[in-house]
Amino acid sequence: MKRVLLWTPFALAALLLGLMLARLDAPHDETIASQWVDKPMPAFNLPPATDGIPGLAAADLATGEPHLVNIFASWCVPCRVEAPMLETLRARGVRVVGIAIRDTPKDVASFLSEYGNPYARIGSDVDSNVQIAIGSSGVPESFLVDGKGIVREQIQGVILESDVDRIVAKMKAMR
């Protein structure tokens, strides 16, 4: 009995150390998934982010057609990498709309002229209100929204070439 008691703290410490080592070895995942998937887009009405492209409202996403809502910003470096993929998606029939985070009309315009414009609409979210309302925590992120305006999937980070086929198929299946 005494011996067991004596060794208990060591056993507990060893267990704790083992747990810590196991966590050190585990891949580190910092992404925070949105809990807003399968819920309707919250009501919002964002002004145009730049001249010549209309703004974005929740009503524009409940038209019977599915949309890919891309959360981006001109100051976001990975968004530049993602731009050609969005253009590919648009060319393959996906309706791409954008929400520009903390951005200015001038910066959005130069971003689009440099990296292309796949967006039918871009809303300007200067204080991240809509971004927070749908549980998005960074740029770029994309939300697949069905024809009734219900969020069906959140894609965090850059859309890669290997994601394109799956997204096109999912958007076609969604109405």
Partner 1 sequence: MMRRVLLVALVFAAPLAAQDAVPPAEYAYRQLPDARAEAEAHALMTTLRCLVCQGQSIADSDAALAGDMRSLVRQRIAAGETPDQVRAWLVDRYGDWVSYDPPLTPATWPLWAAPIALLGLGGWLAARKLRRKRSGTGDGE
Structure tokens at 53: 């492209």
The owner of tokens 């991240």 is 128
46 lies in the site for partner 1, by CB under 8 A: no
32 lies in the site for partner 1, by CB under 8 A: yes
Helix/strand/coil for 29: coil
CA distance 124 to 107: 12
Torsion of CA 81, 84, 86, 89, to 10 degrees: -140
Tell me the window of 76-84, 103-111, 113-121, 167-175 that interacts with partner 1 (CB under 8 A): 103-111
30 lies in the site for partner 1, by CB under 8 A: yes
Tell me the window of 44-52, 63-71, 86-94, 97-105 that interacts with partner 1 (CB under 8 A): 97-105
Tell me the window of 89-97, 109-117, 131-139, 156-164 that interacts with partner 1 (CB under 8 A): 131-139
CA distance 168 to 145: 13
127 lies in the site for partner 1, by CB under 8 A: yes
CA distance 49 to 7: 66
User: Applying CB under 8 A, which of residues 40, 62, 88, 104 lies at the interface with partner 1?
Assistant: 104
62 lies in the site for partner 1, by CB under 8 A: no
Helix/strand/coil for 15: helix
CA 139 to chain centroid, in Å, comes to 7
128 lies in the site for partner 1, by CB under 8 A: yes
The site for partner 1, by CB under 8 A, has a size of 22
Binding site for partner 1 (CB under 8 A): 30, 32-36, 75, 102-104, 107, 126-129, 131-135, 137-138
